[in-house]
Amino acid sequence: MINCPDCYSKMERKLLDKRVPAYVCSSCEGTWISSSEYADWLENQAGKITIEPKLSEETPLPAVAKRKPLICPDCGRILKRYKIWPDVEFYIDRCGGCNGVWFDRDEWAVLTENDLTRQLYRFFTDEWQNQLKNEEMVSRLRTMYSERFGKSDYEKLRETKAWLENNSNRDQLLAYLMDKDPYKS
């Protein structure tokens, strides 16, 4: 028997949607999935995984950002929080020791709705996390440029840049643009 890492109440054995074995807190409805049980479940899933999670997915119900660090109910380490989508305050906690995963109330449902329950491991990879940080950086820069140039000028600039990049005369066009007086001999 394990206790809830969040509110320390008793946790009950339950099967989640798609029959994933888990412990669910009788009080806060947080959910703990152990790594080995998840791996077994994943292995028994019929068919190949066809859905690729997308970083910029439209995501319903982002959870509220959380407060205190949680302790793994299985092995006692501190759970690490992982962001799942860029610029969305939705986090999943995972134990680096035993790889168990903690979901606050309704978080598993969000993954179920997005058909991502079989993709859990992917979110914890460096690849995913780096990609996510990259996207967040790009969107911060976009905001910065947009504020600096003004929205409509920035839009025009982006269009012009795209047009230039695709033009076979790019270098000459740029030289023309940069030249203060291209008609002076």
Question: Where does this chain bind Zn ion (CB under 5 A)?
Answer: 4, 6-7, 9, 25, 27-28, 30, 72, 74-75, 95, 97-98, 100
Q: How far is the CB of 43 from Zn ion (least distance, A)?
A: 21
Q: How far is the CB of 73 from Zn ion (least distance, A)?
A: 8
Q: CB within 8 A of 35, min separation 6: which ones? A: 98, 99, 100, 101
**Long-range contacts from 136-139, C-beta under 8 angstroms, 24+ separation:** 136/86, 136/87, 139/86, 139/87
Q: Which is nearer to Zn ion, 74 or 135 (CB)?
A: 74
Q: Which is nearer to Zn ion, 72 or 88 (CB)?
A: 72
Closest Cα to residue 140, out of 69, 132, 164? 132
Q: How far is the CB of 37 from Zn ion (least distance, A)?
A: 13
Q: Which is nearer to Zn ion, 9 or 129 (CB)?
A: 9
Q: How far is the CB of 116 from Zn ion (least distance, A)?
A: 22
Instruction: Please state, in angstroms and as integers, the Cα–Cα distance from residue 184 to each residue in 78, 177, 181, following that order.
Output: 69, 14, 6
